[in-house]
Amino acid sequence: MNELLTKIQHTTRHAKQVGALHSLTTAQEVIVDHGIPFVVRILEQLDRKENYQAKQEKAKVNPFLPYEQDLFVCDLTPHHVCLLNKFNVVDHHILIITREFQPQETWLMEADFTALAHCLQRLDGLAFYNAGAIAGASQPHKHLQLIPFQSNGETFSVPIDQVLSQLNDRMQPQQIPLFPFMHGIISLPQDYDGKILFDCYLALLRFLRFIDGPLNPGWQTQAYNLLVTRRWMLLVQRAQDQYEKIPVNSLGFAGALLVRNQMQLSLLKKLTPLQLLASVAARGDLSQRAIAPFE
Ligand code: AMP
């Protein structure tokens, strides 16, 4: 067993014992849309997490600086620390946070991908980044996230994998014709590292015309979701954080949606999951795009 997983398991046991970790229980249902078995979790306790976060926001508390010692997993790099996500739906959900404050709405840099690669190489799972409030981020301090595919006998799956079989393995951005939203996806080589992940991120930013040429560190120009597995990286441009009060973050674009109650579940069934994603993402024709202006 690898050291990172051992530390995550140890911290999980400890954090549960002292009451620092809140696992939110969910009922779930599958809605199949165009061959994608979307997993919809019904999270009646979402208010509990939101109330806690609203109180912290009001008191201007940054939960990651200082972070809760009981949730600390390990140091990752000189610039990043690994924590357990305080409110998880799946066990062993980790956060990769910057040691010093950096805004969530700034571009990711190579150092962020070095920390991400470190975790992904040791823990097979779905990594993601909600770049800004419009992309579903609730915390302004830079944090990437990773949910392992296997934890404590539970399996977390990525439903969109069902339609990614034709993904070509050239390391070039492409689009999945079925996805009705502005996105780019790129295959990753088996021996990826932080530099390769960063290069793929840059290729996707250029593909979507977010940047032209090198990336200047600083504020992002667009809100987006970034999803990374050991096999591919997907970037989706966002237009709004929710549709009809159904919030969507990166997990939604993996095919894992969250609704607050049965009413929202019925609405989602009527709307269909792909249309929900289309409603919260940017749309349009890539060939018509000019480079996004810097604000
Ligand atoms: P996001 O909502 O995507 O910005 O991710 C931030 C995550 O931080 C949420 O999923 C919360 O569950 C989690 N969170 C909130 N407060 C804390 C805390 N004190 N320690 C660790 N994780 C937290």
Span 51-67, pLDDT tens digits: 777 888 878 899 999 99
Q: Is 15 in the pocket of ligand 1 (CB under 6 A)?
A: no
The answer to whether residue 280 scores a pLDDT higher than 70 is yes
Cβ of 87 less than 6 Å from ligand 1: yes
Q: Tokens standing for 172?
A: 């070039």
What is the rounded CA–CA span in Å between residue 200 and residue 208?
A: 12
Mean pLDDT of 252-267: 96
Q: How far is the centre of ligand 1, averaged over its atoms, from the C-alpha of 141 (Å)?
A: 10
Q: Which DSSP state fits 209? A: T
What is the overall mean pLDDT for the chain? 93
- Minimum CA distance residue for ligand 1 atom 11: 87
pLDDT of residue 284: 82
Direct distance between the N- and C-terminal alpha carbons of the chain, in angstroms, rounded to an integer: 47
Q: Is the CB of 158 under 6 A from ligand 1?
A: no
CB count within 10 Å of CB 212 equals 10
Angle subtended by helix axes 194-207 and 110-122, to nearest 10 = 120
Is residue 257 pLDDT above 60, yes or no? yes
Under the banding of pLDDT at 50, 70 and 90, the label for residue 43 is confident
Q: Please give the pLDDT value at position 294.
A: 43
Task: Tell me which of 95, 145, 147 to substitute to probe ligand 1's pocket, judged by most ligand atoms within 8 Å of the beta carbon.
Answer: 95
pLDDT for the residue 295:
38
CB of 139 sitting under 6 A from ligand 1? yes
CA–centroid distance, 87 to ligand 1, in Å, is 7
Q: What pTM, to 2 d.p., does this model score? A: 0.95
* Mean pLDDT of all residues in 104-112: 98
Peptide bond into 66 cis (omega under 30): yes
